[in-house]
Structure 1
Amino acid sequence: MRRLRTKANCPICKEEDETVAHRFRYCKLTKQVLQELEVTLSNRNTENDWNKWLVTELGNKSSQLYVTTAVAFWAIWFSRNKFIHEGILSKAQEIASFVRNYTIEISQTEGITEFLQRNKNDTWRPRPPEGDQVKANFDASFQKLLKRATGGVIIRNNEGL
C-alpha cells in the first residue's frame, strides 16, 4: 500500500527539503550516481527554474552524455519512488550500473534502426491475406516485479475485419 509522506525533507539524504532541484542537483545520491557515470553538471548553470535548468544542462552535452544524463535522472527518480513505496534503497553503484546497461541497449537499438532505415525497401507493404485466409498478430508483455502478464491477438480477414 502506498504511504503519504508527511515530511518535506529528502527521504534519501535527509539533508534538505525535497524539491526537484534538490533531487537532481544537490542530493548526495544523485551526485554519487553522476560521479560513477563520469557526468558533470555545470557550475555555471544557476538557472532557478527547473525546466530551464534542465534544457540548458542537457543542451550543453554531447549526444551520448545527453542520453546518459537523461537515463540517470529517470533511474534516480525511479529509485527514489521505489524507496518511498517499497522501502528499498538502491546504491549509487547499482543505479549507475543500470544506467550504463540501459544506454548500451539504447545504442544497440539505434544501430538496428539505422540499419533498417538504410536497407528499407519502399515497395514492400503489408498485404491482407488472400481469399478466405485470415492473418493473426499476437503480442504479449510480462512484468516480472508485478508478476503480471498480458497478451492480445488481432485476427483479420482480407477485408480487415
Structure 2
Amino acid sequence: MGFRSLAKFNVALLAKQGWRFMNNPTSLAARVYKAKYFPNTTFIESSLGNNSSFTWKSIWAARGVLKEGLCWKVGNGSEIFVFNDAWVPDLQHSRLSFHVNSLNDFRVADLIDHSSRKWRREVLEATFSEFIVEKILRIPLATEANDDVVAWCGEHSGEFSVRSAYKLLQSHEVDPTAYVLQNAYKNFYKKLWSLNLPSKIKITTWKISWNYLPTRVNMHHRRLSTILLCPRCGAGAEDINHLFRECPVSLEIWKQLDLLEVLKNSDMMFKEWLAWAFEECSFRQCRLFCCSLWAIWDERNRGVHERVWRSVEETVKFIRNYILELDAVENVTLMKKAQVELKKWKPPSEQFVKI
C-alpha cells in the first residue's frame, strides 16, 4: 500500500544529522561533537570511541549511508583520492578501486594539467581502461581552479535530502539494522546475562564493557589521581585496553588459559573486541573468558590495595578451580531438581485409589 519502512526512514534521518556536521561545522552541535569525538579528523573518517553517548552512536552508525551517496565535484583535485573516493559519475561502483587493481594513492590533481585546465589524456589512457577514460573526460573543469566540493548524488542540487537517502536504502535492499550500532552489542549482552556465573562476575564484565572501572587513566581524567602507569608492568598507561589486552601479565594469563586466540583482533575498539570474542566463543569459553576478566581486575586491586601480588600460575590455577566449583554447584543443583521431579505426585491408574 506504499507505507514507508520506519526503520529505514529513521536511518535516513540520522544520516541527515551527519550531513549537517559536514556542511555546517560552525554550528554549536557540530563543534561540540567534533571536540569530543573527532577532533583531529572528519566525520566520515571518525571512529566510535569508548563510552560514547547514545546519540553519537546512532549518528555515527548511519554514516555508512553517507559513504554510499557522497561524491566529489572536481575543482583543483587536491583533496580527492583517485581510487578511494567517489568522483567519476555514472559508474556502477563509484570508486575506481572496484575497477582498477592498483595500490597507488595519488590524487585527482595529478591527472589535471593545471596550466591549461584540461585532463592529461596520456596519463588517463596509461592508467585506466577506455571505458573509464571516456567518463573522466566528460567531467568539466572550470577555467579557474576552485576547491573540491562534496556533494550528494541523490539530488541534482547536490544537497542531502531524507527522501533520496530513503530511496538509496530501498534500492540497495539494505537491512536497516545493519546501521543501528546498538544491535551489534545486543547478542553480547544477551549472552552475558544468560551465562551460569555469579552476578558479581557478570556485573564486572558489564562495567568493563562500558569502561566504568576505576583504572588509573579514568581516575586521572576525573582528577582523582596523578599516576598513570600500570601498577603491574609499569610499561604503559593503565586504561581498559592496556589492562586486559596489552599488559604482559594479562597476555600470559590468556596464553595459559588457551584464550590467546581472542586477542588476535587487537586493532578493534575495546567494546567491539568484547562483542567479537563473545560471538566467536562457545558458552563454556565465554564463562572462562568472563571469569578471567573478573580475576584479572580482582588481582590488580589486591596488588594495589593490599600489596599482595600473585604469580600468573597462581591466578590461572584460581580461575580453573573457580570454574570447577561452579560446575560442581551446577551438577548438584541439577541432581536436586531431578530428585524433586521423581518425588512428584502422580495419579493412579484406573480401578485404583492412592491414599
TM-score scaled by length of structure 1 = 0.66
Q: Whose radius of gyration is greater, 1 or 2?
A: 2
Which of 235, 249, 267 lines up with 1:46 in the alignment?
267
Aligned equivalents of 2:266, 2:253: Cα separation in 1:
19
The equivalent of 1:66 in structure 2 is: 286
The equivalent of 2:334 in structure 1 is: 114
**8 A contact 1:45–1:57 mirrored in 2:** no
Cα deviations across residues 65-89 of structure 1 (Å, max 9, x unaligned)?
Answer: 2111111111110010011111111
The equivalent of 2:226 in structure 1 is: 6
Aligned equivalents of 2:304, 2:225: Cα separation in 1:
8
Aligned equivalents of 1:57, 1:64: Cα separation in 2:
13
Q: Greater strand percent: which structure?
A: 1
Cα pair distance change 1:120/1:97, threshold 3 Å: same
Aligned equivalents of 1:73, 1:14: Cα separation in 2:
20
> Are residues 1:85 and 2:293 paired?
no
Cα pair distance change 1:5/1:36, threshold 3 Å: farther
Cα deviations across residues 11-69 of structure 1 (Å, max 9, x unaligned)?
Answer: 11111110111111111111111112122224136331x33321221231122221111
Aligned equivalents of 1:39, 1:96: Cα separation in 2:
12
The equivalent of 1:105 in structure 2 is: 325
Cα pair distance change 1:98/1:21, threshold 3 Å: same
Aligned equivalents of 1:7, 1:110: Cα separation in 2:
42
**8 A contact 1:45–1:56 mirrored in 2:** no
> Are residues 1:57 and 2:280 paired?
no
Q: Which amino acid aligns with 2:316?
A: A
**8 A contact 1:39–1:69 mirrored in 2:** yes
Q: Which amino acid aligns with 2:229?
A: N
Instruction: State the secondary structure of the residue aligned to 1:11.
Output: coil
The equivalent of 2:239 in structure 1 is: 19
Moved more, 53-62 or 93-102: 53-62
Q: Greater helix percent: which structure?
A: 2
| Relative contact order, higher structure (CA 8 A, sep 6+) | 1
List runs of 5+ in structure 2 lacking aligned partners: 1-223, 346-355
List runs of 5+ in structure 1 lacking aligned partners: 125-161
Instruction: State the secondary structure of the residue aligned to 1:38.
Output: coil
Identity %: 26
RMSD between superposed Cα atoms in Å: 2.1
Q: Which amino acid aligns with 1:46?
A: D
Q: Which amino acid aligns with 1:120?
A: V
TM-score scaled by length of structure 2 = 0.32
Instruction: State the secondary structure of the residue aligned to 1:120.
Output: helix
